[in-house]
Structure 1
Amino acid sequence: MLFNRRTFMLGTAGAAAGIALATSRSRSAFAAEDSQLRAMWWGSNDRSKRTLSVARLFQEKNPGISIVGESLSGDGYWTKLATQMAGRAIADVFQLEPNTISDYSKRGACLALDPFINSALDVNAFGKDMLKLTTVDGKLWGVGLGLNSFAMFYDADAFAKAGVTPPGLDTTWSEYADIAIEMAKATGKGGGPYAARYTYVFDAWLRQRGSSLFNESGLGFGVEEAKEWYAYWEDLRKRGGTVAADVQTLDQNTIDTNCLALGYSAIGMAYSNQLIGYQLIMKSKLGIGMLPRAEKGGPSGHYYRPALIWSIGATSEHGEEAAKFISFFVNDVEAGKILGVERGVPMSPTVREAILPLLNPTEAETVKYINALKDQVGSYPPPAPLGATEFDHRVFRPIADELAFERVSVADAAERLVSEGKAAIRTG
């Protein structure tokens, strides 16, 4: 059973091993501990189970600290975070990702972690380059939980049955369109997603052409580039290579609402670490590969990124304890064995080495994929500007949906993306 919102209270060391499921309103019913941390994240049931298991392990090794964990789904997470920010009651530990850490740190949601380094927070094994991934304006605002990159997932069984060769390392966008249409005809489903609404795919598309989603001054693209983007997806939709508009709008940027996971397409586009979550809920064997590129031998548009990030709430009264939990999460070998690579390939070399022999075939595939990108990735982009989250939720996705429903033309959609995008970035 999937819950849109799940709150978990974990017992302290010596307490019963079971996990009590409760609503946030019942938190006060639990006995107060020396320090009680609230942790909040989004993700699948599998992610929640792993997270809670690590939290239990942390509590066993750190008596006097208890953790209340809350998992939310889709846009509900960001709505809850906004409410917490307004009420000055942000969770002690909360989850962000690369496109949101700059935005939320500048909005005052995060506590700078620099004062905790070498005391409660150990990041010495990561190296300076890894820390740069979560550094904004010279301060560390979060800790990356693993490395990932953009990826394409595909139903390997469906491709084999149809006798179609899956997209490869050097597949172009033009070739991808032909493959998606062929799979749509063979399976009677949409070949792939209507990815005009995915900012990360647009980012890779732009980087392949020498531009970017964002730059130091705001949007990194113009109207003509937006037109080319929208024209591609509209042409592919009309040729039958994507799922229908009503199917695509079901996608709330979660695994269980993606058209591939729902069985509406043979191809999906996501982040490499999510392969584990997809495979858990799908019967078909999945394959993983890179996004298509503009031209043979051209730039891939890919880059390594922190898959997900733990940050500390700016209003937390338990910063030291929260930093200690984050440090345990990313450095403890036993914790690493529980987490695997569901949140990305561990940044700690010690943890990475310890878990490799224990990975199942799907988990091993994600590590293999990250390693295979070594000679394909470009430089990490500058931090996303203030308003990037608003741009994604309120501008990028809605305009793409209107286009798919044929309520707006390609030209008008492109004009609106740039004008409304600039307004969102400027106003934050």
Structure 2
Amino acid sequence: MRMNRRSFMIGTAGAAAGLAFGAGGSLPAFADSTRLRATWWGSADRNKRTVAVAELFHTKNPDISVVGESISGDGYWTKLATAMASQDISDVFQLEPSTISDYSKRGACLPLDQFVPSTLKVDSFGKDMLKLTTVDNKLYGVGLGLNSFALFYDEDAFKKAGLTPPGSTTTWAEYADLAVEMTKASGKRSYWGGPYGARYNYVFDAWLRQRGKSLYTDEGGLGFGVDDAKEWYAYWEDLRQRGGTVSADVQTLDQNVIESNSLALGKSAMGMAYSNQLIGYQLVVKSKLAITLLPREKKDGPSGHYYRPALIWSVGATTKNGEAAAKFIDFFVNDIDAGKILGVERGVPMSPAVRAAILPTLNPTEQQTVKYVDLLKDQVGAYPVPAPLGSTEFDQNVMRPVADQLAFGKITVAEAAQKLVDEGKAKLKRS
């Protein structure tokens, strides 16, 4: 497992500085101030923006200093698990829609209702937006921006190949044919039309919603059966054998971070991710990228998409500085200058005031993500039930490994489908 950790110290004697330390680097204590620890994952661009906002926060709140740590790949969740076990969770830490329910139920998050609206001024977000980070009637986090699932594609590659790129009504059958055509038309070795998406639980989520199913039930179980999983795996295996997906050894490199995605690695012309990540992808891909909806079952059928908080700041349940942590989060989502630094890298801002202020400052790539969220306005369905306890383990320790075993030919489609359901049920029940 790859772990890449970077630490940053923000705020010392009134002068803000971003200092990089190795994995074992020690950080000095600060006298006469509250020191917050913040932890997140993401690209180098996200690190730069986050540190800049933390520096600005310290400038405006000199009595609060911030020590930040960025951890890449699945190492983030390993670090969080260790922190939970030792009752030493960061004051502020990053979650996502698929993990907030799981970790709040595990006792990792501090309920934030006590800070609303005195410190956390989130009324302007709208009640529905707060529901996205509410679990069991308690607010366990604040969304940092809106996004949804998305299909990215290399616009230059499609032009060079003379192929029409995917669009908002492209079906899964059309996508498969297009991916195969792109592999052939590219004329490049070790380059394919798209990813082997069988291991992406968020794509499976949209696939199921297009068919009237769901990833999870209201009761916290699996919302699909063996036949559904068999159809899913059969699609990707057929596409892989036709040459439309990257090889198994390339796909297993994907640690659910931009740098290891097949599109970012220059191994595929299309990639599946979250809309806010277009900015990070464009920074590492030389060709011009474009964004559209995930393929759908039928042209006139449901898209399977829904609005989601792109990422979430939560406060550690063991913090001794809850008020200061809430103040930092409020600054992150409501300060206009902070919003201009952050742009839409973590999603389109929840705050109407911040959204209006930053729109004129966005570059063309950032504007694409805003237009995409607007495009979805009439396409999104209801927000799903919160991911149940054990959902993170289901994703990391069941869905991804099963898909990898299938891609490497170690198990059949039927075996993969049965294994996904059986082991998935066991993970959710055990949790």
Q: How does 1:326-345 map to 2 (within 5 A)?
A: 326-345=329-348
Give the stretch that moved more between structures: 114-123 or 130-139. 114-123
> Who is 2:407 aligned against?
404
Q: Distance in 1 between matches of 2:210 and 2:196?
A: 19
Cα distance in 2 for partners of 1:122, 1:408 equals 52
Aligned runs of 1:198-347 on 2, under 5 Å? 198-217=200-219, 218-347=221-350
Deviation string, structure 1 residues 231-265 (Cα, Å, up to 9, x no partner) = 00000000000000000000000000000000000
Identity of aligned residues (%): 71
* Corresponding residue number in structure 2 for 1:43: 42
* Contact 2:183–2:193 (Cα < 8 Å) also in 1: yes
In 2: Cα distance, 1:350 partner to 1:402 partner: 48
Cα offset, 1:20, TM superposition: 1.5
Q: Counterpart of 2:121?
A: 122
Unaligned stretches of 5+ residues in structure 2: none
In the TM superposition, residue 13 of structure 1 has moved relative to its aligned partner by 6.2
Change (3 A) 1:418 1:334: same
After superposition, the Cα gap between the structure-2 partners of 1:296 and 1:384, relative to the gap in structure 1 and judged at 3 Å, is same
1:4 corresponds to 2:10: no
Residue 380 (structure 1) aligned to one of 375, 379, 383: 383
Q: C-alpha distance in 2, partners of 1:316/1:279?
A: 36
Give structure 1 stretches of 5+ with no counterpart.
none
Amino acid at match of 1:270: A
What residue in structure 2 maps to residue 102 of structure 1?
Answer: 101
In structure 2, C-alpha distance between the alignment counterparts of 1:214 and 1:140, rounded to whole Å: 21
| C-alpha distance in 1 between matches for 2:401 and 2:10 | 39
| Residue in structure 1 matched with residue 19 of structure 2 by the alignment | 20
Moved more, 46-55 or 114-123: 114-123
Question: What do the CA deviations read for 1:146-203 (whole angstroms, capped 9, x no partner)?
Answer: 0000000000000000000001111100000000000001113111000000000000
Alignment RMSD, CA only? 1.2
C-alpha contact (below 8 Å) 2:12/2:30 kept by paired residues:
no
Distance between the aligned counterparts of 1:3 and 1:14, measured in 2?
Answer: 32
Residue matched to 2:88: 89
Report the equivalent of 2:183: 184
Helix, strand or coil: the match of 2:122?
A: coil
* TM-score normalised according to structure 2 size: 0.97
SS at match of 2:227: helix
Provide the residue aligned with 1:193 in structure 2.
195
How far apart are the structure 2 equivalents of 1:268 and 1:130? 28
> Residue type of the partner of 1:207?
R
Deviation at 1:23, TM superposition (A): 4.0
Amino acid at match of 1:216: D
Q: Report whether the alignment pairs 1:422 with 2:425.
A: yes
Once the two structures are superposed, residues 288-335 of structure 1 have per-residue CA deviations (whole angstroms, 9 ceiling, x without a partner) of: 000000011000000000000000000000000000000000000000
Q: Answer yes or no: is 1:111 the counterpart of 2:110.
A: yes
Contact 1:5 1:73 in 2 (8 A): yes
CA deviation profile, 1:20-45 (whole Å, cap 9, x unmatched)? 21246544534334210000000000
Q: State the TM-score, normalized to the length of structure 1.
A: 0.98
Q: How does 1:349-388 map to 2 (within 5 A)?
A: 349-388=352-391
Residue 119 (structure 1) shift: 1.6
**In structure 2, C-alpha distance between the alignment counterparts of 1:28 and 1:340, rounded to whole Å:** 29
CA deviation string 1:126-157 (max 9, x = no partner)? 11000000000000000000000000000000
- The one-letter amino acid paired with 1:343 is R
State whether residues 12 and 65 of structure 1, in contact with CA within 8 Å, keep that contact through their aligned partners in structure 2: no
State the aligned residue count. Answer: 426
Given that 2:331 and 2:338 are in contact with CA atoms closer than 8 Å, whether structure 1 keeps it comes out as yes
